[in-house]
Every structure is written in C-alpha cells, then in structure tokens.
A and B are shown apart, each in its own frame.
Chain A
Amino acid sequence: MSAPPPDNASIILPPGRKRAASLARSRRVLRSPLLHVILRRLLLAVPLLFLVTAMSFVLVALTPGDAARSVLGIEAPPDAYERLRQELGLDLPLYEQYSRWVTNAIHGDLGSSIVSSESVTHIINTRLPVTISLIVGALLVTMLLGVGMGVYSAVLGGAIGRAVDAFALLGFALPSFWIGAVLIAFFAVELRWLPATGYVPFADSPSEWAQSLVLPIAALALYSVAVIAKQTREAMLDALSSEYIRMAWASGISPRAILFRHALRNASMRVVTILGLLFVGLLGGTVLVEHVFALPGLGGLAVTSATSHDLPVIQGVVVYFTVIVVFVNLVIDVLYVWLNPRVRAE
C-alpha cells in the first residue's frame, strides 16, 4: 500500500516553483467569470450614465416652464426673469449647459439647487438613507417572506398553495398608496402602535428608526412579496418534480438537504432574475410610498425637483438612481454566477 499523498499545506516549494504557482493563481483569478461580470458591468456603467443624464437633460428642456419662472413666480418683471436666466445659464444652448454640468460632475460637483441654493450633493445625501432604508428593507422582506411562502406552499401544496395564489392576486391588484393609507388608518390612528408619518434617522434612535419604516416597507413590499412567492412556488414545483430530485429522495438524502441545497438552489436562479426586475419597480414605488408616509427620501425629491424644473437636482437624482440600479444589477449578476455552475464553467 502506498503512502497517502501529502496535503498541499505540507508541500514546501522551491522559490521558482512558488512564483510559478502564484502566477497560475493570478491567471485563474483573471479568468474568473465573476471578475469578468464585475468588470463588464462597471465598464458599461460609464456610457450608461452619460446616456441617462443626457436624456433627462433633453426631457426637462422639452417640458413647458423653466426654473427661473419657478423661482420668481409669474409676477416677476421680465428683466428680473431674464437676469436670473442668465445667472443660471439657462440662456445658453442645451449642449453647452449639459457639457458644463458634465465637466463639473466629473470633478464631483453636482451643482446647487436653483430653488433653495443648497448643494445638490448635500440635499441628496440627506435623503439617500431614507430611500436606501426603504428599498433594502423591502428587498429583505420580499426575499424572506416571498421565498418562505413560495417554498412552504410548494412543499405542502393543496389549500396552502391556493392561498398563496390568492395572496399573489391581491398583491398584484392592490396599489401601494392605498395599502399605505389603510395601514396608517389601522396601525397608527386606531391602534397607535406605529407612527403615521415621518422618518427618524438611525443615529438618533435605532428603535424609532425601525418603527418609522415598518408601515412604509409593508406598503412597498407587498407587490414584490406576491410576485416572489408565486415565482418561487412555480420554480420549486418544477425543481421538485425533476429527475435528479427523485434520485435524491431515492438515495436517502435528508429532506432538508433536498429542499434547500438542491431544489431551492436551482429554483432560486429564476427568483434572482425576477428580483433584479422587481428592484427597479421598488425604486419607482418609493415615490408614491414616500408621498403617502411623508418621508424625506429621493422619490419625493425627484417629484418636487421635476415640477419646479430644478435641473441640477434632477440630474443629481438621475445619477444616484442610475448608480444604485447598476450596483444592484451587478450584485444580481454575481449571485447568478455563483448560483449557476454552468455559467461559471462557460
């Protein structure tokens, strides 16, 4: 009987071999599909940012009204209006206004609000934590509740399955702003368990921060939970009826391992793809939810800046939203690669 091969930890390589091993490891990393995905997404983000900001510039220019009129009101004399337009650069050609904005933005300066004169970066950074808290909370609730409900109903089936279908239907049909109003009426006004409006920063009070987000997250996440529950149930049913799962049952593998290590892992690829699409919907949904719950987030800022033609703020919000969407899609892609060995092999 030959001696067992020594494990790698005990092998001591001569220096030349060490360098070769290190180079081989670097090549493996460079060929890693995960790295390719990340680099590709980051490279695409740059032209995407240009395209989206240019489009929003043009769209704002095409809508009636302008920022100078928003600031001065209808009663201002024409000379005051023209003076302000010159001061704000609104009398310049559109391409020149956009080029000035891009030059400043590349240097980290997103400009100042035309209406309030505050720095755009400061305005957005004040409101960003609210929207991020809403979206992350809604995503977590979506994944935990949605996947949980989907798995549960797929495994138990029968009446539970039909209940999940009915819940999904309700989730698709009921608009988030209506849900929000109902939740406020019951939990805030009637029971006084939770606040009706407003946001408390985490640094001020973690418990009040959490309380201020319960109802908005519930209103925002309902639709996504319904979608994910339905998709997870369908995907799990497909996975559970496949041959390799039947083989796993026959092999005596534990039910928990079959469900979570094999079936759910395969089913989750579809769920992860849908999650990426749902995220964009959640981002748009924050506009309505922030309005109903009077939350000082980016959604509300997008609406007020659009109606007042506050172009620097609009552009700032567009940049932030685009970066967030790119980042989340990157995470989704990485998850997909990690979950799917075939993609890794390709």
Chain B
Amino acid sequence: MLGGVTNSGRSTGRNGLLAILAAVIVVTCVTGGATAGTDRSHALPALRVGSVLDIANLDLTRITAASGITSQFCDLAYGGLFHHRADGKIVPEIATSSRYVRTGTGRNKGFEFTLRRNVRFSDGTPFTAQTVVSWMDHFSKNSVSYGRYLGPNPRFKAVGRYKVRLLLTTPVPSLDKVLSDNGSNVWGCVPSPRALADPGSLSTRTAGAGPYMLDPSQTVKGDHYTFVPNPYYYDKKAIKFSSVYIKVISNASTMLQALQSGQLDVAQGDLTTAAAAESSRLGVARSLSQLTTLSLNPSVNPVLKDVRVRQALNYAIDRKSVARGLLGEYAKPTSVILSADATPALENYYPYNPARARSLLAAAGYSNGFDFKILTPNFIGIIGDPLVQAFAKYWEAVGIRVSIESVPSPVFFRDFGKYAGLSFGLTVNTTPRQYGVFLDPRSVFTLWGYDGEIHQKYWAGIKAKDPTPHWKAMWTRFTQQAYFVVFAGVSNFWYYSKTITGVPASVNVGRPATPLFTEWGHT
C-alpha cells in the first residue's frame, strides 16, 4: 500500500512506485515505438517532381509509347517483376529468380519466374502466380499497344502458388528486361485481382504492389498526382518519402522557376532551359535519349530506291556544325541509330563530304539533283522543323531541291505516309522496341522499304542466347544502306535540388525510359 508509515510499509510503497514507474516506461516504449513505426512515413520528407508530360491514362491497357510519364507511375505504384538498375543490370524485385525453359519449339519461347512470398497489393490481397496469369491474359487481349510485344497467342500458366510460366509462339529474348520496371512496356506492372475484376476502376486508381499508391483525394488528373506509401509494401525501408507529388508543368521556364523557388525538388528539363539551370545552384543530370532523324520513303519518290542517292543525302550535310549551332553542347552528331546495340565506330560513318555527295548523285544519274519533299512536325520545338530547315541548305548546295511542310500533330500523323522525307524524334531504346516501331514490315512507320538481310539478322538475334552480335550487324547494314538520315542524339535533362540523391545515376542511356523515382533518396 502506498504511503505506509512503518519500515515495511515504506518499502511496500517504494516498490509500488517503482512498479508503476516501470509500467509507465514499458508502456511508453511500446506505444512510442509503435507510433514511430507507423509514423515513419510522416518523419520522411515529401518528394515533389515536375513533369512535362501527363499520365495520359492510369489504365495500363491503354498505355502506348506516347503515353507520357508511364515509367514513373508504374514504378511507384506497381513496381515491376524485375528491376532494371541504373547500371543496366536486371535484378530481382517481385520475382526473385527466372530462367528460360525448353518448350521443344525453339529457343527463347518458354520463360519461368518465381515470386517473392510476402508480397501484397495495396488493397491487401496476396500477390500470387494466379494474379500474374490473370493479369497477363487480360493484358494480352486488351492492350492497345504493348500487348503485341510477346507475339501472337501467348499462354500463361501458374505452376503452384508462386511460379509462373510463359509459353510463347514467337521467341522473345531478355524477357526479364521486358517484365522489368524500366518503362519500355508495362507487362510487369501487375494490378490486384480485385481491380482486374472491375477493369473500369483501373483508369481511376492504381492497384499495384509497388512502394506507393495513388491518392485520388489529392490528385487532379492532368495537373498533379499524389502517391502515398503502400501500407502493405514488402520492403518498408525502400520507402524514402512520405509522399511523391508529381506536378505537370508544360511550360519549360515555369518548370525551372518552380524548382528555383523551392516548390519542386526535381524537375524534367529541356534544351531551352538547360544553360539557365546549370548557372543556378541546381544539379543537372542528362543522358542522350532522343534521336533526330529523317525517314526516307522510296514509295513516294522512287529516286530514293537507289542506295547512292540515300548515301548522298547523308554525306551532303554537316551534322557537327548544325548540331553545335542549333543545339549547342547538348547534342551529339551521329550517323547511326543510337541504341544499346549500336556500334560506336559507325557514329561518323557519313562525315560531311559534299563532293562525295555530288559524285554519288552523278553516278546514280542525278547530276542535276531531284525534288525532295519533307514533312516536319511543328510541335517538337527546335529538333523538328528548325533542324530540317538548317540541313536543307546543305542539300540545296549539292543540287537537291528541298520543299518542307511543317504541320501540327494531327496533320502529321494523318499525312506522314505521303512525303518522301519524314522528320521525327526517336527515343533511344532497345533494339526490339525500335524494330517494332520502324523496322518491322507491319509497322506503319516502316516507310523505307524492305531489306531481307536486316530482318534475317534481327530474328537470328531473337533466337540467339546473346543477340548482341546479330543486332550489331543489323544496325551496321541499316547504316550502310542509309535508309534513314540520322542527324544527332539529343540529351534529356533532369534538374534537381541538392537535397535529393541518386538523380544523376538514375539517368542512363542503357535504360530506355526516364529515370525511376524509386531510385532517388534524400540527404
């Protein structure tokens, strides 16, 4: 009893006090620890990112190559079955291991991976092999673009609770890369079965197993998106921010000013503001991620069927001067399509040589030149129409009479097949992705014709264990035949406050899409 007056009473009272004090300490530790654990996210800073492009559609089946910041929200909300690291390596993420399996129908047609066991979607449902199979079935039937990536009639099978097997009719190499979070497609971004049961809900919310999830109450589509930590994410330590706020700002100078005024931590930059960003106290990370090119269409102008004419177009232009004059230090003149399989030695395959251009034209029977109509986009800034106008002077100097039509986006995509030359920007990407866009005979952008040797080399690579030598040979052939006139590689920029870490390492030409936000941290 407390407050006893005898010696034994005093000691009883003291013991009681000590017991109560101990209980209070224990309770405080327990609740304080629990609070600290649950409130860990509140102790973290928010990440505020500015993006030029919008998330066009949250529904992954509606995502196309032109769908804006696809990679970022997939990485944040869905993670990926594998992770494409900034150094180019593919490492486990939700899938812990993978291998190609023999199917008896040819190499690279069977693929199997094993899932991590403690993964849950943001709605709490477990991530199992069957959820992956259901998603891939749905995606292959409903995707407007990436669904064709695994070829016709792919089959998916759950082998037990945590193993998935893909059985393809067409060989697809590097499937771990295809199923990764690198943003080149979204096969590996699996939504929960509850969301899949209501496909309409996929366009209003995220339902993945990634570290974050979309908070619709703090989101205005087209303006800003707020992602908050996924309470069921299997690796809590990987969650470095209390929220990720993505603000869409299409005006380049406003974007830079928002970063300079402290409203953003990281922002997507561009050529027009790069110098200003570098002269302010911001970090600037850049990678060569876009190519400016001119696709040639011999079906519109048969003159272009002659390889000597196409090579003449390449020799006639001074890439270095134009790139330096228009794009400054942020562009790299090149004669070759840049990709992970490009041969660096080919980058100057067509040095500026107007005399050679004239002699090639004369040898082809066009010593008086020819008429050359080009379509350029007026919606991609300085790397569109202004660049082609600059090169036109060099073609005029060797006798080629150039007429350029610069048009807005809807007209461009309606009329692109009607011009002998088509100027556009290409994202630096993997060979299979680029093949699908402008080399595959079935693609609407394959205007340059047909070359059996190119397709033979491509498919040899698809079936090989290591496709690199075949694809290098393919690009060499493509460059030698001058099916395109490639101008320059152009940098992609990300500006960042010095309190954010990991941005420069995450911007990497070996990984086709823009950087993954989950690789960033804070000081």
Task: Point out residues on A near B: beta carbons under 8 Å.
Answer: 63-65, 69, 71-77, 80, 84, 115-118, 123, 126-127, 181, 184-185, 188-189, 192, 195-198, 291-296, 300-301, 304, 307, 309
Contacts and interface: CB of A to CB of B under 8 A. Distances in A.
Contacts of A198: 224, 247, 258, 263
Interface in B233-284: 247-251, 253-254, 257-258, 260-263
B410 A192 contact: no
- 5 nearest CB pairs, A to B: A65-B410, A296-B223, A73-B64, A64-B410, A117-B203
B250 A196 contact: no
Contacts of B27: none
Contacts of B21: none
Given A196-B263, A198-B247, A293 B221 contact: no
Contacts of B56: 115-116
Nearest to B147: A80
Given A65-B413, A75-B437, A192-B262, A197 B222 contact: no
A309 to B, nearest CB: 8
A7 B410 CA distance: 75
Interface of B: 54, 56-59, 62, 64-67, 144-145, 148, 200, 203-204, 220-224, 247-251, 253-254, 257-258, 260-263, 409-411, 413-414, 436-437, 443-445
Contacts of A292: 251, 254
A304 B222 contact: yes
A294 B144 contact: no
B409 A307 contact: yes
Contacts of B413: 65, 69, 74
A292 B253 CA distance: 9
A64 B414 CA distance: 7
26 contacts: A64-B414, A65-B410, A69-B413, A71-B144, A72-B64, A73-B64, A73-B65, A74-B444, A75-B436, A75-B437, A76-B64, A80-B144, A84-B144, A123-B221, A126-B220, A181-B257, A188-B261, A189-B260, A196-B254, A196-B261, A198-B224, A291-B251, A292-B251, A296-B223, A300-B222, A309-B410
A185 B253 CA distance: 10
Contacts of B57: 71, 115-117
Given A65-B410, A74-B445, A188-B257, 4 more contacts: A76-B144, A117-B59, A197-B258, A296-B224
A123 B220 CA distance: 8
A75 B411 contact: no
A195 B261 contact: yes
A185 B261 CA distance: 9
B258 A294 contact: yes
A197 B249 contact: yes
A126 to B, nearest CB: 6
B363 to A, nearest CB: 37
B414 A291 contact: no
Contacts of A184: 254, 257, 261
Nearest to B54: A304
B263 A197 contact: yes
A181 B252 CA distance: 11
Contacts of B222: 116, 296, 300-301, 304
Contacts of B221: 116, 118, 123
Contact of A72 (B144, B204, B258): B144
A1 to B, nearest CB: 75
A296 B414 CA distance: 30
Nearest to B280: A189
Nearest to B256: A189
Contacts of B254: 181, 184, 196-197, 292-294
A298 to B, nearest CB: 11
Contact of A75 (B65, B220, B251): B65
B144 A185 contact: no
Nearest to A291: B251
Contacts of A291: 250-251
A116 B411 CA distance: 23
Contacts of B261: 184, 188-189, 192, 195-196
A118 B445 CA distance: 32
Contacts of B200: 117
Contacts of A123: 221
Contact of B411 (A64, A72, A294): A64
Nearest to B411: A64
A124 B491 CA distance: 37
Contact of B223 (A84, A115, A195, A294): A294
B247 A73 contact: no
A185 to B, nearest CB: 6
Nearest to B146: A75
A122 B1 CA distance: 66
Contacts of B250: 291, 294
A75 B253 contact: no
Contact of B203 (A69, A116, A197): A116
A293 B222 CA distance: 14
Given A65-B414, A117-B200, A294 B249 contact: yes
A179 to B, nearest CB: 13
A150 B145 CA distance: 60
- Count chain B CB atoms within 10 A of each CB in A74, A189, A192, A293 and give the residue with the most: A74
A304 B62 CA distance: 18
A63 B261 CA distance: 40
A64 B251 CA distance: 25
Given A189-B261, A192-B262, A73 B220 contact: no
A69 B411 CA distance: 12
B145 A73 contact: yes
Specify which of A80, A294, A304 lies most central, judged by the most chain B CB atoms within 10 Å of its CB.
Answer: A294
Nearest to A75: B145
B64 to A, nearest CB: 4
A301 B220 CA distance: 12
A69 B415 CA distance: 14
Contacts of A304: 54, 222
Determine which residue in A63, A71, A189 has the highest number of CB atoms from chain B within 10 A of its CB, and name it: A189
Contact of A296 (B148, B220, B436): B220
Contacts of A181: 253-254, 257
Given A118-B204, A197-B247, A294-B249, A71 B220 contact: no
Contacts of A296: 220, 222-224
A291 B250 CA distance: 7
A65 B257 CA distance: 34
Contacts of A192: 261-262
Most chain B CB inside 10 Å of its own CB: which residue of A76, A116, A185, A295: A116
Given A115-B57, A117-B59, A63 B410 contact: yes
A196 B257 contact: yes
Nearest to B221: A116
Contact of B247 (A64, A77, A294, A309): A294
Contacts of A64: 410-411, 414
- Among A63, A127, A197, A307, max chain B CB count under 10 A is at A197
Contacts of B251: 291-292, 294
A175 B445 CA distance: 40
